């Protein structure tokens, strides 16, 4: 009888400890989720207030950069476009030869962004590259027919 009481008591203590641990873990998870939700809500609120304070629609464009050849070209184009006032995001996909650009329409335009790309020596949509800038590019950035050592990318 005494053994049964001690087994039952041990089981009760273990059950109580399990409930406490599970309860604490659940509370920690809720607190962390609450913190995450709070942070996300703050970001959303900040983004909304930024959008509302400017009251400007941001432009988003995909620009074909067909003369791009390599990773150096990618960096050159991203650098040139990021210097255009009003551009907030520029990401160049080297494989698809497309530049994704987000910008403030009140500060710049697609035409100005294309001009920055052509001034760097690359074609942008239907606009042709500035030949002087193109001649100054690294050999790997030039079209294969213009490279001194074809295939060096």
Phi (first) and psi of residue 80, to 5 degrees = -60, -45
CA dist., res. 19 & res. 13, Å (int): 10
How many domains does the chain fold into? 2
CA dist., res. 62 & res. 108, Å (int): 15
Say which CATH number the domain at 64 has. Answer: 3.30.70.100
In a structure prediction context, what are the per-residue pLDDT tens digits for the chain, which is 153 residues long?
A: 667 766 666 666 666 565 556 554 444 444 444 444 444 444 443 443 344 334 355 889 999 999 999 999 999 999 999 999 999 999 999 999 999 999 999 999 999 999 999 999 999 999 999 999 999 999 999 999 988 865 555
Tell me the H-state helices in the chain.
2-54, 71-82, 110-119, 131-135
CB 109 within 8 A of CB 86: no
pLDDT, position 4: 73
pLDDT, position 21: 61
Containing structural domain, residue 26:
1-55
Regarding whether 74 and 28 lie in a shared domain, the answer is no
pLDDT, position 38: 44
Residue 152 falls inside a structural domain: no
CA dist., res. 50 & res. 104, Å (int): 12
pLDDT, position 120: 98
């Amino acid at each position: 009888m005494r053994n049964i009481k001690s087994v039952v008591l041990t089981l009760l203590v273990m059950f109580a400890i399990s409930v406490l641990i599970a309860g604490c873990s659940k509370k920690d998870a809720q607190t962390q989720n609450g913190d995450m939700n709070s942070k996300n809500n703050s970001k959303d609120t900040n983004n909304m207030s930024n959008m509302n304070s400017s009251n400007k629609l941001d432009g988003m464009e995909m620009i074909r950069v067909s003369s791009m050849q390599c990773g150096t070209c990618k960096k050159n184009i991203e650098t040139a476009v990021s210097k255009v006032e009003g551009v907030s995001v520029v990401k160049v996909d080297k494989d698809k030869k497309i530049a994704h650009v987000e910008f403030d329409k009140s500060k710049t335009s697609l035409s100005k962004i294309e001009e920055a790309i052509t001034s760097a020596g690359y074609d942008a949509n239907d606009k042709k590259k500035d030949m002087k800038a193109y001649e100054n590019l690294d050999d790997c950035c030039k079209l294969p027919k213009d490279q001194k050592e074809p295939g060096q990318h």
